[in-house]
Structure 1
Amino acid sequence: MSGGPLEGVRVLEVAMYGFVPSAGGVLADWGADVVKVEHAVHGDPQRGLRQTGTMRVEGDPNPNFAHANRGKRSIGIDMSHPDGREVIYEIARNSDVFLTSFLPGHRAKFGIDVDDLRAVNPKIIYARGSALGPRGPESTRGGYDMTAFWSRAGTAASLTPPDVEGMISPPGPAYGDTISGTNLAGGIAAALVKLGRTGEPSVVDVSLLGSGVWALGHGIALSAHLGEPMVAAKTGVHGSPANPLTGLYRTADGRYLSLVMLQAEKFWADVCRHIDRPDLIDDPRFATGADITANTGQAVEILREVIATRTLAEWSERFTTLSGPWAPVQDSYQVVSDGQVTANDYLVDTGELKVAASPVQFDVVSAAARPAPEFAAQTEEVLLELGLTWERVIELKTTGAIT
């Protein structure tokens, strides 16, 4: 836990699947001691997630679990058992943050709601992740990133072209979960600052729906102002009707380049030189910004024809000196070997797996991610740290209160 800005902070996590555990994973990256409570027999169901789309993981380690649970300690507790609940309270007495994904009814059932935890530790920060928020008629409903973040918050409809049946699915597993979890980790960090400054603990709430609204916030603000929805362009249509330097271009090997040069007039000559068409610089059709806008269709056709003559790798090499913003359109496997990703340590090695680094760096260094824990591997360790005797630990095991 050494070296991170949250060193010395203890987080008690009672959560499952991707969203809230990913917040705990970020806090662990930042140096917190995150104690993850898992069901005494079954553990976090995320451990059993093997099939993700067309990709399947056999055996351990499992990236589906490690992504959100790196660096934690796992303890197996039966919270329905009175002795198990007392263990939860004992850990809470010695924790700074309680982090949970449980729905209101289950929080009440297991005695882990705000008042329950504050009764044993009045200063504990209570952080909860939900599907649809803590208020309103649907606050007790559960959900996943596909439902609350992707579908309900507007991204799916805004991203799906009108000529596509159904909707475009999220680009990968736990997409909205991970974004929402980072939001929750940031909220907890702010609450820790407030606690240190005022002595007042907070209740921190982040939902998948709220995070989805925030992620699409610019577009939703436009819709609220103009009274109309965002509509995606039809498949195959160039990205901008008024700027040939903002959009996708197909390369000779069937890949794509993404150009986003919002000031077309500023970058036009440089692009023309890089594609070996200097004759276009003085072409009267593209002499000014207004001309480029007026003749966007012709410019797009020229650029499509030229860019289709070389592969993505060839253009990527040639465009290293291009002054305007551009990027190769990469798949998830190509990201693994991206030189800029490597240079900034955006992927880190846990010793078992290569995983994405959480996105905040301190002092220009990525957090050193540690492996995800084996199920209940630190149960005895955590309880002995709390001062329980071996005799008491054995007794709790015998009664089934702990793993």
Structure 2
Amino acid sequence: VQKPMTGVRVLEVAQFTFVPSAGAVLADWGADVIKIENPVTGDAQRGLVTVAGRSAATPGVSFSPTVEAPNRGKRSVGLSLALKQTRPVFEELVRRSDVFLTNLLPQARAKLRIDLDEVRRINPAIVYVAGSGFGSEGPDRETRARDATAFWARAGNADGVTPTGSEVPTGMPAGAFGDNIGGITIAGAVAAALYGRQTTGQTSVIDVSLLAVGAWANQSSVNLAMLYGCPLPKIDQRTQTLGNPLTGAYRCSDDRFIQLSMLQPSRYWASVCRLFGLDAAAADERFASLESLATHADDAAALLADAIGSRTFDECTRLLSLLKGQWSAVQDAWEVAHDESLIANGRIADLRDAQGNQQRLVANPVKFDEAAAHLTRAPMFAEHTDEVLRELGMNDHDLIELKIEGAIT
């Protein structure tokens, strides 16, 4: 099956995860993504060797998920953008590209002459994409950011999941959590821009910030705060909806959790009660209508918590599987990696690393044409410099000269 981005060439000048993960998704979808890396240091992400105090790689193996996930499927070129000797190479790459991706700040882009005006001077039709912490306008346009600061903290997501009385805000559930959401947002924007260019002849400048992505993810709360004209009240983090005992997490007897999300509690209350042997609660007038159930939600939740808490996780999942209401097991990362639905839909994908070992990564969530994801590994540092530059017409003498000058690796 031909991938939808086959024939599209993307030129990436970006580091870490936010914008590079967009390049990885575009590569998954068939684009030829050429990643320009500093010829000495490479992408700084390559130096991220520990995560949460543990090694992010297996000893003796080149495969590291922190590098592979945002860079899979690309070609790497070690090229200095600061030297005049490489300017013709860069300009030829821009001419041959459909999309330019970067997360450098405006001043850095201007210094390297990779800002919008320069890139468009070389290729007026190119789609220019800038990912940032806080957007291309406003007082923070030159401010550095991470997803923990812009997406999580400033966009209100940390506050939204922090329980009342907590001494510190709750941290992100995973590294690059906001970066990956932002990356696929950029990939979708690129697809829209390419379609627009094809149908109208007009190209686009794309601006995506981690702050805006975080606010979008948190829009339910932000929109309500604007409606109410004040901050939202803190709620018990066990529940999803005040007054509804059939939302939120409940602990089983073996300390596993079940997440309920039945937003029509009066529809499911009696059935849930009967499943868990709460026949009296099913007939209790306090819980007979939506209004009375909301009024006595704490009592109802306590009864349900006792019933679930007296049963093992397996017992609870067996009972709930008989119900049409929405619920799920609360899974850890290891369980997610082995989730039957993800595997059946090809969203946990196999690939071969540089040594030929079989590895696995989470695939991007978009499935085209009923096909499982087909991933290829991330490039080694500067692995494709000679290959790509030869495609531009350079010969061995040209390559050797640039290498001697330290302009390429």
SS of alignment partner, residue 34 of structure 2: strand
For residue 125 of structure 1, the aligned residue among 124, 127, 149 is 127
For residue 175 of structure 2, the aligned residue among 173, 176, 184 is 173
1:324-335 matches, within 5 Å, as: 324-335=325-336
Aligned to 1:8: 7
TM-score using structure 1 length: 0.96
Following TM superposition, by how much is the alpha carbon of 1:394 offset from its aligned partner in structure 2, in angstroms?
A: 1.7
- 2: CA distance between counterparts of 1:233 and 1:203? 40
Q: Which has the larger displacement, 305-314 or 168-177?
A: 305-314
- 2: CA distance between counterparts of 1:82 and 1:31? 32
Amino acid across the alignment from 1:194: G
For residue 384 of structure 2, the aligned residue among 372, 378, 382 is 378
Following TM superposition, by how much is the alpha carbon of 1:397 offset from its aligned partner in structure 2, in angstroms?
A: 1.3
Question: Quick one: structure 1 residues 43 and 231, their matched pair in 2 at CA, closer, same or farther if it must change by over 3 Å?
Answer: farther
Amino acid across the alignment from 2:284: D
Following TM superposition, by how much is the alpha carbon of 1:390 offset from its aligned partner in structure 2, in angstroms?
A: 2.0
Aligned 8 A contact 2:75 2:384 in 1: yes
Amino acid across the alignment from 2:396: W
SS of alignment partner, residue 2 of structure 2: coil
SS of alignment partner, residue 381 of structure 2: coil
- 1: CA distance between counterparts of 2:232 and 2:291? 26
After superposition, what is the alpha-carbon deviation per residue over 1:109-163, rounded to whole angstroms, capped at 9, x for unaligned?
Answer: 1111111111221111111101110011221111110111111111111221121
Following TM superposition, by how much is the alpha carbon of 1:35 offset from its aligned partner in structure 2, in angstroms?
A: 0.4
SS of alignment partner, residue 211 of structure 2: helix
Aligned to 2:356: none
Aligned to 1:61: 63
- 2: CA distance between counterparts of 1:69 and 1:326? 35
2:31 is equivalent to residue 25 of structure 1: no
Amino acid across the alignment from 2:30: G
SS of alignment partner, residue 75 of structure 1: strand
1:298-377 matches, within 5 Å, as: 298-352=299-353, 353-377=359-383
After superposition, what is the alpha-carbon deviation per residue over 1:247-298, rounded to whole angstroms, capped at 9, x for unaligned?
Answer: 2111111121111111111111221232233343223332232332222122
Amino acid across the alignment from 2:124: P
For residue 405 of structure 2, the aligned residue among 388, 395, 399 is 399
- 2: CA distance between counterparts of 1:231 and 1:341? 36
Amino acid across the alignment from 2:279: P
| CA root-mean-square deviation | 1.5
Amino acid across the alignment from 1:192: L
- 1: CA distance between counterparts of 2:211 and 2:88? 33
Question: Quick one: structure 1 residues 130 and 238, their matched pair in 2 at CA, closer, same or farther if it must change by over 3 Å?
Answer: closer
Following TM superposition, by how much is the alpha carbon of 1:334 offset from its aligned partner in structure 2, in angstroms?
A: 1.2
Following TM superposition, by how much is the alpha carbon of 1:234 offset from its aligned partner in structure 2, in angstroms?
A: 4.4
Amino acid across the alignment from 1:401: A
Amino acid across the alignment from 2:384: Q
Aligned 8 A contact 2:235 2:242 in 1: no
- Percent identical across equivalent pairs? 43
- 2: CA distance between counterparts of 1:136 and 1:105? 14
Aligned to 1:226: 228
SS of alignment partner, residue 91 of structure 1: helix
Following TM superposition, by how much is the alpha carbon of 1:36 offset from its aligned partner in structure 2, in angstroms?
A: 0.5
- 1: CA distance between counterparts of 2:212 and 2:56? 32
SS of alignment partner, residue 321 of structure 1: coil
Aligned 8 A contact 1:158 1:231 in 2: no
TM-score using structure 2 length: 0.94
SS of alignment partner, residue 76 of structure 2: strand
Aligned to 1:40: 39
Aligned 8 A contact 2:347 2:373 in 1: no
2:213 is equivalent to residue 214 of structure 1: no
2:97 is equivalent to residue 91 of structure 1: no
- 2: CA distance between counterparts of 1:363 and 1:276? 45
Aligned to 2:115: 113
After superposition, what is the alpha-carbon deviation per residue over 1:145-183, rounded to whole angstroms, capped at 9, x for unaligned?
Answer: 011111111111122112101211111110111111111
After superposition, what is the alpha-carbon deviation per residue over 1:299-353, rounded to whole angstroms, capped at 9, x for unaligned?
Answer: 1111111101222233223322211000111111111111112112221112233
Amino acid across the alignment from 1:46: Q
Structure 2's unaligned 5+ residue stretches are: 354-358
